[in-house]
Amino acid sequence: MKFAHIADVHLGFEQYRLPYRAREFARSFEEAVDRSIEEGVDFILIVGDLFHSSRPSPGTIQEALEVLEKPKKAGIPVFAIEGNHDRTQRKVSAYNLLERLGLLHLIGLRDERVENDFLTSERLGSKYLVRGTVETGRRSVEIHGIKYMSAAWFEKNKLTEIFKPEGDAILMLHQGIKELVEKMAGIIPDSQRDYFELRMKDLPKGYRYYALGHIHREFVTSYDIGTLVYPGSLQRWDFGDYEVRYRWNGRSFIPEAGTRKGFYIVEDFKPRFVELKVRPFVDIKLKADEETAIRELQRLREKIPREAFVRLDISWEKPYDVSGFRRILEVEHLYVRARFEGKKGVPGSGGLPEPGKYFTPVELKTIRLAGEKDFNEVDAVIELFLKGEEETEPTLTDEKSAIKVEPVERVKPEGPKPKKPSNILAWIGGGDED
Ligand SMILES: [Mn+2]
């Protein structure tokens, strides 16, 4: 019994507003599916965030169709759950379209009973719990799962009461799990709880394989309950998701290897990583004067492939002109972040006021949502204002690399929650408040 475990494909993600990056995300998906077919898998799992948005464009839907026709032709079933990026608040999601075309099978809680060769349903309150089944030779495997849900939802609904595995079964979840995120990133302060919705004790026991998504970094671990796997995103997500980081120690650049990108082929419940070649992201941290910076970047240039995306974090006690650095590091995409202490506090030179002082938590969250590279979280923002922060399911918790936590303090809103809902459009447009 062999299957592919893919997650966080993010079709349609025009990273840094570059349409060709969306095509690269699509190409990685195609490569993962091609490799899975070559491997002769019995089925493919897509564990959430197939799309970058819950409203993919026609072009993005077409990319999904073109790739998913391949396993369909090869007679390989695909099972999927929706992630935080692509689930919809409405009745029909893009996944329902794909299912209607016979390109995948949607697992989880649904309003209607579904019965076919690959899906069975069980009544659960007012819903149906829809599960996948695959027969391979003499073996039969059940595929359970549920779409991305908020921490608030899990307060009221216990996975251990919903899922009772029997025989060989797999559980698909697109969530952050506290202990696993901390194993990857270290202890995350309590004030920044956005990075998990579940703890290990919330997971139902008895599954042979926990097929996870949501965290964009590849990670495998085994707890007493079994093998838990995050395949990570197929392409590099941001500069926190670097291939290599060069950190200046005052004398030389020390390279640190980053993460690999790809997906898992799982044979008899043993995962094997399949690495995909993706565009390199290089992160450079340099604290030096102008002369040293120019000399050292010229040296480093040899080591950086032309097609790389590079972020250069540069700082020094006195300001100097960094505009020429683009000619030194002639790479596909260069993002320079300069921080000169001498400039600190001078109006108009980048010293922003502390955000917590001027905005309510709901407003801060809106600003964060609206500030995304490609803003398509209108639904989430509207919901945020209608319901306030606590009830809203975060839609972007896995931004900013899988695990980097943004220093936004989460204070419970007191009194009337949304302060000035009418101003939301003004902020999004960057216009004036009243
Ligand atoms: Mn994702």
Determine contact, residues 129/120, Cβ cutoff 8 Å: no
Question: How many angstroms separate the CA atoms of 113 and 390, rounded?
Answer: 31
If you search the block for the tokens 């989460």, which residue do you land on?
410
How far, in Å, is the centroid of ligand 1 from the Cα of 233?
7
85, 105, 174, 214: the active-site residue: 85
**Length of the chain measured in residues:** 434
Dihedral of CA 374/380/386/387: which sign?
A: negative
If you search the block for the tokens 């349903």, which residue do you land on?
121
| Whether this model's pTM surpasses 0.85 | no
How far, in Å, is the centroid of ligand 1 from the Cα of 176?
11
Helices 361-370 + 378-387 axis angle, to 10: 170
State the pLDDT at residue 422. Answer: 32
Q: Tell me what the mean pLDDT of segment 410-416 comes to.
A: 41
State the pLDDT at residue 396. Answer: 32
335 & 359 share domain: no
How far, in Å, is the centroid of ligand 1 from the Cα of 86?
9
Question: How many angstroms separate the CA atoms of 296 and 288, rounded?
Answer: 10
Question: How many angstroms separate the CA atoms of 154 and 148, rounded?
Answer: 10
How far, in Å, is the centroid of ligand 1 from the Cα of 52?
7
85 & 144 share domain: yes
State the pLDDT at residue 383. Answer: 66
Q: Closest by alpha carbon to 238, among 281, 279, 278? A: 281
Helices H / strands E in the chain, number of each = 12, 19
Residue 243, in any domain of the structure: no
113 & 164 share domain: yes
The domain spanning residue 332 has which CATH number? 3.30.110.80
Output Rg (C-alpha) for the chain, integer angstroms.
23
Helix (H) / strand (E) containing 313? strand 309-316
pLDDT over 60 (residue 138): yes
418 & 287 share domain: no
How far, in Å, is the centroid of ligand 1 from the Cα of 186?
20
Q: Tell me what the mean pLDDT of segment 161-184 comes to.
A: 94
Identity at 269, one-letter amino acid code: F
DSSP character at residue 419 = S
pLDDT over 50 (residue 187): yes
Q: Tell me what the mean pLDDT of segment 43-49 comes to.
A: 98
pLDDT over 90 (residue 159): yes
How far, in Å, is the centroid of ligand 1 from the Cα of 292?
39
Question: How many angstroms separate the CA atoms of 146 and 163, rounded?
Answer: 10
Q: Tell me what the mean pLDDT of segment 128-138 comes to.
A: 93
Residue 293 sits in which domain range? 281-343
The tokens describing 169, both together, are 């079964």
pLDDT over 50 (residue 394): no
Residue 19, in any domain of the structure: yes
202 & 293 share domain: no
- Does the active-site annotation cover 214? no
Question: How many angstroms separate the CA atoms of 245 and 113, rounded?
Answer: 50
Residue 179, in any domain of the structure: yes
Number of domains in the chain: 3
Counting residues of the chain whose pLDDT is more than 70, the rounded percentage is: 80
Determine contact, residues 358/420, Cβ cutoff 8 Å: no
